[in-house]
Amino acid sequence: MTNRDAPQVIKDSSMLKQKEMIAGNYAKLEAAPATGQKVVSTFVPGNLNELIMCFDMLNNLPEINALQNGMRKRTGAYIMEAEKRGHSEDVCTYVKADLGMIAKGNLGPDGQKLPDPDLLLLSYTGCFTFMKWFELLRDHYKCETAMLHVPYQGDGKITPNMIAYVVKQLKEEVIPKLEKISGVKFDIDRLREYLARSARAEEDLVWVLETAKSKPSPIDAYFGGVYYIGPIFTAFRGTEDAVEYYRLLRTEITERLARGQGPVTPTGELTEERYRLVVEGPPNWTSFRDFWKMFYEEGAVVVASTYSKVGGLYDLGFRHDPARPLESLAEYCLGCYTNRNLPSRIDLIERYMHEYQADGLVINSIKSCNSFSAGQLLVLREIERRTGKPGAFIESDLVDPRYFSPANIKNRLESYFQMIDQRRAGSRAARAA
């Protein structure tokens, strides 16, 4: 057992702060029909939270609702409901979890009714399914939709043409619709102010994520990382709350680092870091705790993950820039992890493997998600070839409990950890010879 009971896990101020923020946003959303505040539904990758805030609108993220419902084990029933209503068993389960939730009364994760959106802001970044998902929602809500087409980085770079295209859409499609629905006139200085706050929070987030380069790592950049990215990927980027959250988090991690502590897990602090891993792909939400346990019980710490870059990739230097507000929003959308081509994704993982001194790569391949999953077997091969480190491939789903097989995954991980041990023993023997 590598964990020491550490009840401070639930006392961390940053965690409490985040809980409050999320609950506050759901409360505002649920009160929207009464307060008259307008609601935008949008996606996490390429979300334009700062822009939405310029119009005093609330941000509702269907992916986050699905995720939260997944963690509360409600999505299984929602998915079945959607399938009963004619949605194929083959398609993305985030979509079906959302449609099933709507069909069953549209109760949010806290059990209260979510409002109908006034605008569907289709930030079409890094995933084709988004377009169909919002067309399906439009079919249901019959509300206004704004499409923001974010071109894919097919050649692994952002071109001036791509930026110009996104900026033009912001000016001619997105902003006019936000103005029309909210009745608020666009004020670019307000946007600049929010973007400056975003950049401050981003700076702290990157600092926190990069502490995993230390040995031992004071954080888990996947299982813990999904909490750390919560505010910045959702309805809070650009708020003072987010700035404060990341300041608190940074202070907490600074202390952990100074004390040489390992990451906090649900059962306390991980005291012996035995394996340092990079993880590619989203986690499973319906058995999130069980999944995490399979790692921390073995002393495995995730030192870098690609999923924590899905709603914005900041560790290569990008920051929202108040001096170039719309251009910087465009670059943000274009730079999200799944909007990068496969060679760039592989280069990034390779870089993580070296910079974070990882023992190997684990790919959690998600049945639902072609955007992440198509090509992952090549990612695995390439990383093994380039780094000489072993990789593991496991399969599950985001929110469909039918595709989480604990025994299989646990077995696979256990043999993987043994493989890492054998490799280590082998290289020690080779050095000694």
Give the residue from 76, 80, 37 showing the smallest Cα distance to 59. 37
Q: By C-beta, is 130 or 296 nearer to ligand SF4?
A: 130
Is residue 364 a contact point for ligand SF4 (CB under 6 A)?
Answer: no
Please give the backbone phi and psi of residue 69, each rounded to the nearest 5 degrees, phi first.
-65, -35
Our finding on whether 369 is near ligand SF4 (CB under 6 A) is yes
In this structure, what token pair is assigned to residue 54? 């310029």
Closest CA to 213 of 318, 314, 304: 304
Q: Where are the alpha helices (DSSP H) in 183-239?
A: 188-210, 225-228, 230-233
Kindly state whether residue 368 participates in binding ligand SF4, applying the rule CB under 6 A. Answer: yes
Q: Cis before residue 390, ω within 30 degrees of 0? A: no
Sheet with 275-280: list strands edge to edge.
300-305, 275-280, 360-366, 391-396
CB atoms within 10 A of CB 346: 20
CB of 368 vs ligand SF4, minimal distance in Å:
5
Q: Binding string, 79-118, against ligand SF4, x = CB under 6 A?
A: -------------x-x------------------------
Residue nearer to ligand SF4 on the CB measure, 127 or 158: 127
Cα–Cα distances in angstroms (integers) from residue 116 to residues 37, 58, 75, 77, 283, in the given order: 11, 12, 20, 21, 28
What character string, x for contact with other proteins (CB under 8 A) and - otherwise, covers 87-126? xx-xxx--x----------------------------x--
Report the alpha-carbon distance of residue 51 to residue 191 in Å, rounded: 6
At residue 247, what is the residue type?
A: R
Structure tokens, 397: 């789903």
Q: What is the closest distance, in whole angstroms, from the C-beta atom of residue 390 to ligand SF4 in the complex?
A: 26
* Contact present, 205 and 237 (Cβ < 8 Å): no
Q: Which option in ligand SF4, other proteins, none does residue 132 bind, with CB closer than 5 to 8 A by kind?
A: other proteins
**How near is the Cβ of 375 to ligand SF4 at its closest, in Å?**
12
Binders of other proteins in range 304-343 (CB under 8 A): 341-343
The site partner of 398 among ligand SF4, other proteins, none (C-beta below 5 to 8 Å per kind) is ligand SF4
Q: Which stretch binds ligand SF4 (CB under 6 A): 20-28, 199-207, 214-222, 364-372?
A: 364-372
| Closer residue to other proteins in complex, CB, 3/42 | 42
Stretch that binds ligand SF4, among 7-15, 162-170, 226-234, 362-370 (CB under 6 A): 362-370
Rounded Cα distance between 328 and 318, Å, is 9
Q: Tell me if residue 169 falls in helix, strand or coil.
A: helix
Give the Cα separation of 13 and 170 in Å (integer). Answer: 37
Q: Which of 30, 98, 298, 382 binds other proteins (CB under 8 A)?
A: 382
Compute the residue count for the chain: 433
Cα–Cα distance measured from residue 143 to residue 249, given in angstroms and rounded to the nearest whole number: 38
Site string for other proteins, 181-220 (x = CB under 8 A): ----------------------------------------
182 binds ligand SF4 per the rule CB under 6 A: no
Rank residues 375 and 390 by Cβ distance to ligand SF4 and give the closer one: 375
Binding residue (CB under 6 A) for ligand SF4 from 69, 265, 371, 396: 371
Cβ distance to ligand SF4 smaller for residue 48 or 264:
48
Distance CA(382)–CA(392), nearest Å, equals: 13
> Total residues contacting ligand SF4 (rule CB under 6 A)?
11
Q: Which residues bind ligand SF4 (CB under 6 A)?
A: 92, 94, 127, 129-130, 368-372, 398
